[in-house]
Structure 1
Amino acid sequence: MMMYVYVCAGFLFLLGGAELMVRGAVGLAEKLSISKMVIGMTVVAFGTSAPELLIALNAALSGSSGLAVGNLVGSNIANILLILGVSGLILPIAVGSKVFTRDWWVLAGGTAVFMALSLPGEIDFFGGSLLLLLFTGFLYYSYRRETVGSVLASPAFNEEVDDIGGVPETTWLSIVLLVIGLAGLIGGAELLVNGGSAIARLFGVSEAAIGLTIIAFGTSLPELAASVVAAYRKHADLALGNVVGSNIFNILGVAGVVALVSPLDIPARIVNFDMIIMAVSALVLMPFMIGNKEVISRPVAGFYLAAYLGYIAAIAAGLESFRY
């Protein structure tokens, strides 16, 4: 029973911690006169991906690499198929910016590199260094790009930053929220990893199965919430930006940092099946990114959502492949 309490409490701590950390960091950044553009590229982006980072680090250091990798891969699948599916059903997503096209190429290339490094069954220090180097290059490129204007510097993007409620008015309160939020993230990650590992042992399945499903869904909740709100406010294009940016952060930034700290053991089942689904989920965006399709319509969004439900059903039907 306690394992389920740990998982639920872990999700609450993660979500609450990420929210407080973002508020504190935004407040501190504003006191330092940092632009909304930079705040959005760093603080907001990190805030929605912080759960994946903390869980992956905790799991890897605890010897649960399968859960860490499962969470990263499962989260990237959920971000595209689930989040864009739900957001696109609320409001069709316009894909009219060249920024999305450029970022999609980074996502596609990063996914290919991540999969290639995973083929031997482990991403070591060298692989982590390469991923982190690519991620650093992407951040620099993005910063240079945003200084001359883009979707992130648009009124819609500025509104997203402005909509972060409860931003402290004093520097000391910003620091307090930042510290409390970070503590919540760390504590939530610890509870989730322990609870997820216990559930895996109870049902006799690998931790990777829990990471691909329950944990991945939970850590995608910040992106889902942000994207649904953006769609309701008729800024559905921001949902696409959030998803693509978060996925790049996961496979380059999070995987890179974790592999530097501890080698990531990649279960063969994830390499042979789940990573292929992750790659296909990125490729389904190709017609909209480099083709002549400019809107992710409701029927297409419905297909994405159905595909995600089918993927979860396939995992449930094939749990034998996750047995010890």
Structure 2
Amino acid sequence: MLLNFLLFALGLVLVSIGADKVVEGASAIAKKLRVSDLVIGLTIVAFGTSAPELAVNVVSSIKKNSDIALGNIIGSNIFNILVVAGFSAMLRPIAVKHSTLKKEIPLSLIAALSVLALGNKGRDLPSLITRGDGVVLLCFFAIFIAYVFEMAKKDREIFEEMEMAKLKNISTWLSVIYIIGGLIGLSFGGRIIVSSATQIAKVFGVSDKLIGLTIVAAGTSIPEFATSLVAAIKGKNEIALGNVVGSNIFNIFFILGISAIINPLNYPIVLNADVLLLIAITVILTLFSKDLRLSRIEGALFFAAYIGYTAYLIFRG
């Protein structure tokens, strides 16, 4: 037990250092490539911080553990909005870009709705997310990537008309090393945290479904949490929120799609309550962002909601 607590602390150190370097390197590369921090947040940072979810889901799918695979993705997305975005906004109000409000957040809502639709195909069909469903999810992911590339092209055109902002003197190679090294730290740190926390939880005899929705979900989302927190502290709002929204899109369209292709996922009906919560808080995130700002009070409401949700999960068992 003591060793698991020490490993948990080591994981926190790794993700903290890794998050700082990812934000610093990604921001520098964004300026050098003449694209916005939002594009980098939606792609490189979001994909990198979703690496723990991908690793957990690939292993879970190979072992045919649908409870961990589905619980990890749904739980991580809920954690991303309520805790990552919520706590970051509590620390410093987050500015929301118009494109994020009108395009990226709605796309993350479509992702959540797709899980509900695929897991509830009708009374005569098994509650199963099939390999074909996985292909559909990957097609949506391809559309998202095409949109991001188009946005990057527009950003480059805008930068051509502007004078480049002063950059911190970081070479391109060093920026890449920062990002790769930071992502490695995030991935290993997240893995250590999940492993140690899961061992601690098993001592208390909790189910795989509860572990997936709470400890594994929170643990694999720690990279997103650390990265968005550091981004908020440094005033990189586009990375802070772009990381959250991008990760949620990646988690469902890409990671869940890959998981279903490896092995069809049994969808427990009880998970509908969690998916409906994800849909509801995504809608609320849209409403909160109407004024292109996520305030401290709104962030606090999100964070409080997660505490209530965790209590509900423990009570549900």
Task: Please give the TM-score of this superposition, normalised by the length of structure 1.
Answer: 0.76
* Match in the other structure for 1:245: 246
Q: CA deviation at 1:205?
A: 3.1
Q: Does 1:136 align with 2:137?
A: no
Partner of 2:129: 123
SS of structure 2 residue aligned to 1:284: helix
Following the alignment from structure 2 to structure 1, what is the Cα–Cα distance between the partners of residues 186 and 237? Answer: 30
**Worse-superposed segment, 123-132 or 1-10:** 1-10
Residue 274 (structure 1) aligns with = 274
Q: Is the 8 A contact 2:46 2:224 kept in 1?
A: no
Cα–Cα, structure 1 residues 21 and 269, in superposed 2: closer, same or farther, change >3 Å? farther
Unpaired runs of at least 5, structure 2? 121-125
Once the 2 structures are TM-superposed, how far is the Cα of residue 149 of structure 1 from its aligned partner?
1.7
Q: Distance in 1 between matches of 2:55 and 2:97?
A: 34
Matching residue's letter, 1:278: L
Judge conservation of contact 1:121–1:267 (CA < 8 Å) in 2. Answer: yes
Change (3 A) 1:225 1:61: same
Task: Please name the residue that 2:206 is paired with.
Answer: 205
Corresponding letter in the other structure for 1:141: Y
Supply the distance in 1 between the matched residues of 2:84 and 2:279 (Cα, whole angstroms).
16
Distance in 2 separating the partners of 1:109 and 1:269: 21
Q: Is the 8 A contact 2:42 2:246 kept in 1?
A: no
1:309 is the counterpart of 2:288: no
TM-score if structure 2 supplies the norm length? 0.77
Letter aligned with residue 294 of structure 1: L
Match of 2:95 in 1: 94
Q: How far did residue 126 of structure 1 move?
A: 0.4
Aligned position for 1:322: none
SS of the residue corresponding to residue 105 of structure 2 reads helix
CA distance in 2, matches of 1:231, 1:137: 28
Q: Deviations over 1:21-76 (max 9, x none)?
A: 969x97xxx8xx97766765543221111111111111221232211211111110
Note the 1:1-324 alignment, pairs <5 A.
1=1, 4=4, 8=8, 11=11, 15=15, 41-119=42-120, 120-149=126-155, 169=174, 185=187, 189=191, 202-271=203-272, 273-289=273-289, 292-319=290-317
**Cα drift, residue 148 of structure 1:** 0.7
Structure 1 pair 117–9 and aligned structure 2 pair: CA distance change class (3 A): farther
Q: Larger deviation: 197-206 or 217-226?
A: 197-206
Tell me, yes or no, if the aligned pair for 2:84 and 2:228 is still in contact at 8 Å: yes
Question: How far 1:226 moved relative to its partner?
Answer: 1.7
Which residue number corresponds to residue 123 of structure 2? Answer: none
Count of residue correspondences: 301
Q: Distance in 1 between matches of 2:305 and 2:241?
A: 18
C-alpha separation in 2, matches of 1:166 and 1:12: 28
Letter in 2 for 1:274: D
Seen in structure 2, the aligned counterparts of structure 1 residues 21 and 140 have a Cα distance that, compared at 3 Å, is farther
Following superposition, the deviation at residue 265 of structure 1 comes to 2.0
Deviation at 1:180, TM superposition (A): 11
Could you tell me whether the CA contact under 8 Å between 1:45 and 1:245 is conserved in 2? yes
Cα 1:121–1:3 shift into 2, 3 Å? farther
Distance apart, 1:231 and its partner CA: 1.8
How big is the alpha-carbon RMSD for the aligned residues of Structure 1 and Structure 2? 4.0
Q: CA deviation at 1:295?
A: 2.2
In structure 2, give the amino acid aligned to 1:298: R
When residues 106 and 298 of structure 1 are mapped into structure 2, their CA distance, relative to the original with a 3 A threshold, is same
Distance 1:153 1:269, change over 3 A: farther
Alpha carbons 1:200, 1:206 under 8 Å: kept: no
Deviation, 1:117, is 0.8
| AA in 2 matched with 1:227 | S
Q: Distance in 2 between matches of 1:22 and 1:178?
A: 8
Give per-residue Cα distances to partners, 1:252-308, cap 9 Å, x unaligned. 11101111111122233212x21111111111112145xx43322222111111101
Q: Which runs of 5+ in 1 are unaligned?
A: 320-324
Note the alpha carbon deviations across 1:115-144, whole angstroms, 9 max, x for none. 111224321100110001100111011111
Q: 1:35 to 1:70 in 2, by over 3 A?
A: same
Give % identity. 34
Opposite residue 279 of structure 1, the aligned amino acid is: I
- In the superposition, relative to structure 1, how do residues 44 and 180 fare at CA in structure 2: closer, same or farther (>3 Å)? closer
Q: CA deviation at 1:6?
A: 10
